[in-house]
Amino acid sequence: MLRWIIFFIIYLVLGFYSFQAVKTASRYPWVHYLFIALYILVIANFLYQFMGTDGGRVLSRPKSYAFGFLLAMLAFQIITIIFLFSEDIFRLLLGVYQKIFSTEKEFSIPSRRRFLSLIALGVAALPFGALLMGMYKGKYNYKVLKYQLEFDDLPDAFDGYRITQISDVHSGSFDNRKKVAYGVDLINKQQSDVILFTGDMVNNKTEEMRPWADLFSTLEAKGGVYSVLGNHDYGDYVDWESEAEKKQNLKDLKALQKEMGFDLLLDSHRYLEKDGDRIALLGVENWGRGGFKKAGDLEKAKEGVAKDDFKILMSHDPSHWEDVVINDDYHFHLTLSGHTHGMQFGVEIPGWIKWSPVKWRYKYWAGIYEELGQFINVNRGFGFIGYPGRVGIWPEISVITLKKKGLT
């Protein structure tokens, strides 16, 4: 309870400060009242959603939106306060200067300048509006990102082989069937040889996927649809009534994936064959750094795979690639991961800039990277969780074409 009181006090202080910009910029009382009403509504909804029992770290849809609206309001307040605080320092110094050097020795602080408050509100409106738009539209703004990777030892028959990768569906967050259906159809339209899903089918429970299972069951590729588990798929963030209930949930999710036509790789491998050639497809359970489940067993997945086979590895968390895979005595030509979501927030202009706060935690957080002659693609995710939107980092469908060097 104490942390909620402290949080509420901080929120009130920030709101009071940012309200000064609204009062200075507008002389209309209805504008002031509108700001106050919105301000109170956002915090009241957030406290209502989060102060009750939460069943563990489960973030329901109403909680996600409460968090999203609070995030937008805090962004507005912080940007406004940066401007106001800077002006207040200047006003205070000017007041001290006048007190010392003016003939009138009465100390006074100049009034706030209206134009600066207008600028502050205008700048603050940008992230505020972007976060709201990300909740309304950005989360379903699917993008198909295409890559071509060349390898010296790719089997000849696989030259031009197309892989579609999706990751981090997080079906418990979906709220628009038409948009999700469009995304699934977009995956199929790529007409790739194989579809690979790299984990986090649900937020917490198998039941979240059932309303969407019929849509994802329509995914098809002549080489098959394969999957691995992500950290959210194990149900670790729920306060289950018993361990048996938790185990049953995971068992149900595995069964559901099979019903949907997904071949789930659990520290195992398959061979993809074409015209007499083959490549090894390996999949491990979740292995993550920083408190995430380390269930994946790469050694077990490798059993029966030759060192000189061409290998594609599916591993949900890219920290596994950094900490284990690229230094393994086997050469994994291509690893496919997800997990980071690109934090669902950032700035990307191809060829110019790629930035998100998530880069401070993950060295490999979005797109293609190469180390020691091995590639990884970190998919930005098909769905969303936590903040119910995306800003600048859009939901991704990766299409990777394998090419053999020297072949025309």
Where residue 400 sits, what CATH number does that domain have?
A: 3.60.21.10
**Do both 47 and 76 map to the same domain?**
yes
What sign has the CA pseudo-torsion 397, 402, 405, 407? negative
Of 94, 114, 136, which residue constitutes the final position of a domain?
136
Measured distance CA(366)–CA(342) in Å, rounded:
6
Measured distance CA(136)–CA(142) in Å, rounded:
13
Measured distance CA(250)–CA(15) in Å, rounded:
44
Mean pLDDT computed over 142-168: 97
User: Which of 11-15, 176-180, 273-277, 329-333 comes out lowest in average pLDDT?
Assistant: 11-15
- Quick one: pLDDT at residue 369? 97
Which residue segment(s) compose the domain that 79 sits in? Answer: 2-136
Measured distance CA(44)–CA(28) in Å, rounded:
25
Model confidence over 346-386: pLDDT tens digits?
Answer: 999 888 999 999 999 999 999 999 999 999 999 999 999 99
- pTM of this structure: 0.91
The 194-197 sheet, strands edge to edge? 143-151, 396-404, 161-166, 194-197, 225-227, 262-264
**Do both 210 and 276 map to the same domain?**
yes
Three-class secondary structure of residue 382 per DSSP: coil
**Do both 270 and 283 map to the same domain?**
yes
**Do both 132 and 148 map to the same domain?**
no
Average confidence score pLDDT of the chain: 91
- Quick one: pLDDT at residue 278? 97
248 burial type by CB count under 10 A (0-12 exposed, 13-18 middle, 19+ buried): middle
> Which of 260 and 95 is assigned the larger pLDDT?
260
Residue 148 identity: Q
**Do both 250 and 127 map to the same domain?**
no
Percent of the chain scoring above 90 in pLDDT: 74
Measured distance CA(278)–CA(310) in Å, rounded:
8
- Quick one: pLDDT at residue 103? 58
**Do both 159 and 298 map to the same domain?**
yes
- Quick one: pLDDT at residue 53? 56
Model confidence over 210-265: pLDDT tens digits?
Answer: 999 999 999 999 999 999 999 999 999 999 999 999 999 999 999 999 999 999 99
Taking 60 as the threshold, does the pLDDT of residue 285 lie above it?
A: yes
**Do both 50 and 22 map to the same domain?**
yes
**Do both 111 and 170 map to the same domain?**
no
**Do both 60 and 150 map to the same domain?**
no
**16: which 2 tokens?**
């009071």
How does 349-360 read in b/e, with b if 16+ C-beta sit within 10 Å?
Answer: eeeeebebebbe
Of 136, 157, 183, which residue constitutes the final position of a domain?
136
> Which of 374 and 80 is assigned the larger pLDDT?
374
**Do both 157 and 282 map to the same domain?**
yes
Cβ contact 113:105 at 8 Å: no
Quote the number of domains for the chain. Answer: 2
**Do both 125 and 152 map to the same domain?**
no
Cβ contact 90:110 at 8 Å: no
Taking 90 as the threshold, does the pLDDT of residue 392 lie above it?
A: yes
Measured distance CA(230)–CA(84) in Å, rounded:
44
> Which of 169 and 20 is assigned the larger pLDDT?
169
Query: H or E segment at 262?
Result: strand 262-264
What is the radius of gyration, based on Cα positions, of the chain?
A: 26
Measured distance CA(141)–CA(127) in Å, rounded:
18
State in Å, rounded, how far the first CA of the chain is from the last one. Answer: 67
Cβ contact 301:283 at 8 Å: yes
Of 103, 136, 169, which residue constitutes the final position of a domain?
136
Nearest to 195 by CA among 374, 405, 382, 370: 382
